[in-house]
């Protein structure tokens, strides 16, 4: 089928295949790079900020814990009021970070961990309110008992929940990072593989098309040289339907026509000798063929009755 295509069609198919491979390589690269970009966006805009926000909650909890401890330990009422005054600022920052975390966490596992954090926070806030009331009332002994007893448990549960959330989000950050690294390596491998495959396939198609054109043309040149030398033993491939196939078919038809002319010229002497014809010598300046059989067969013949009108020096 390929040899019956026109030369333009062959070239078009070859270029088309190479262009198709280039488009395919571009699409694969675009898809993988887009996935890599999405991973980076998710890492930078979602996973990492959540770990930062959760760590902010832990930092503010630690500040509030030190403030309540200092408020209990000091006997100066002004210092106590100063330490207690730090707690609302911490609560404000914690409220902001918790709202952001609630809006950002969408996966089931993250929501489950965040719910545990909220439950621990409610218990801790109740204990913290009770502790502040005791400190403001000057009941430091009861405040100490609450701080190192019930409140210690609620605070630990609260911070443990946040720590688990941070650990989970950190794990997600690592997962997305590893996926990005793997995807980047896969993209490089795919681009290299497609490039090598495109080069090999393009070279193969170019070789096939080149041979499909040059081989018939070379056969025609060889046949033409043989014909010019008087050798009519020429066999060309006339089955192809492209331009080179039609050229070979035309040359083969020409060879058959020349063979027929040679056969007719060979029969002329035998056919006209009995009718009184004689060979007319070749005119001066005419070129004789180098092939002996053609020299004997291709001649001009004339009747004997016309020879008397020719000059005598024509035969000497």
168: CATH: 1.20.120.30
**Same domain assignment for residues 236 and 174:** no
CA 3 to chain centre: 31
Beta bridge partners of 302: 278
Query: Would you state the pLDDT for residue 270?
Result: 58
Query: Would you state the pLDDT for residue 5?
Result: 66
Tell me the C-alpha distance between 29 and 23, whole Å: 10
Query: Would you state the pLDDT for residue 312?
Result: 45
Please say whether the beta carbons of 169 and 47 come within 8 A. yes
**Same domain assignment for residues 249 and 150:** no
Query: Would you state the pLDDT for residue 303?
Result: 44
Looking at the chain, the number of H-run helices and the number of E-run strands are 8, 2
Asked if residue 73 is part of any domain, the answer here is: yes
Tell me the C-alpha distance between 49 and 38, whole Å: 16
Q: Is the whole-model pTM more than 0.75? A: no
Query: Would you state the pLDDT for residue 305?
Result: 43
Number of structural domains in the chain: 2
Query: Would you state the pLDDT for residue 200?
Result: 87
Query: Would you state the pLDDT for residue 213?
Result: 77
Query: Would you state the pLDDT for residue 228?
Result: 81
Tell me the C-alpha distance between 118 and 124, whole Å: 10
Query: Would you state the pLDDT for residue 3?
Result: 61
Mean pLDDT by 10 residues, the chain (316 residues): 66 79 83 83 83 92 91 87 92 94 91 94 93 89 90 92 92 88 86 85 82 80 82 76 78 82 70 51 46 41 42 42
Query: Would you state the pLDDT for residue 263?
Result: 77
Residue 271's domain comprises 229-280+291-304
Query: Would you state the pLDDT for residue 300?
Result: 43
Torsion of CA 230, 232, 237, 238, to 10 degrees: 110
């Amino acid at each position: 089928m390929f040899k019956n295509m026109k030369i333009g069609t062959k070239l078009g198919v070859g270029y088309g295949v190479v262009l198709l491979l280039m488009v395919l390589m571009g699409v694969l690269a675009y898809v993988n790079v887009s996935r890599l970009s999405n991973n980076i966006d998710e890492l930078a805009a979602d996973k990492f900020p959540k770990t930062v926000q959760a760590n902010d909650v832990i930092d503010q909890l630690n500040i509030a814990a030190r403030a309540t401890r200092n408020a209990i330990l000091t006997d100066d009422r002004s210092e106590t009021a100063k330490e207690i005054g730090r707690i609302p600022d911490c609560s404000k920052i914690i409220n902001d970070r918790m709202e952001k975390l609630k809006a950002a966490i969408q996966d089931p596992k993250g929501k489950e961990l965040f719910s545990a954090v909220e439950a621990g926070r409610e218990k801790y806030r109740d204990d913290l309110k009770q502790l502040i009331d005791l400190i403001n009332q000057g009941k430091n002994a009861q405040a100490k008992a609450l701080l190192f007893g019930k409140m210690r448990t609620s605070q630990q549960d609260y911070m443990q929940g946040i720590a688990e959330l941070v650990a989970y989000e950190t794990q997600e950050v690592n997962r997305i990072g590893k996926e990005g690294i793997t995807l980047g390596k896969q993209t490089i491998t795919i681009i290299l593989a497609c490039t090598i495959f495109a080069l090999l396939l393009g070279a193969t198609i170019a070789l096939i098309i080149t041979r499909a054109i040059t081989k018939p043309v070379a056969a025609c040149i060889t046949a033409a040289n043989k014909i010019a030398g008087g050798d009519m033993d020429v066999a060309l491939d006339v089955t192809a339907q492209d331009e080179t196939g039609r050229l070979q078919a035309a040359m083969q038809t020409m060879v058959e026509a020349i063979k027929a002319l040679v056969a007719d010229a060979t029969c002329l002497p035998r056919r006209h000798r009995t009718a009184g014809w004689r060979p007319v010598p070749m005119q001066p300046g005419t070129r004789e063929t180098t092939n002996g059989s053609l020299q004997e067969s291709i001649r001009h013949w004339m009747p004997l009755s016309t020879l008397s009108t020719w000059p005598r020096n024509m035969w000497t």
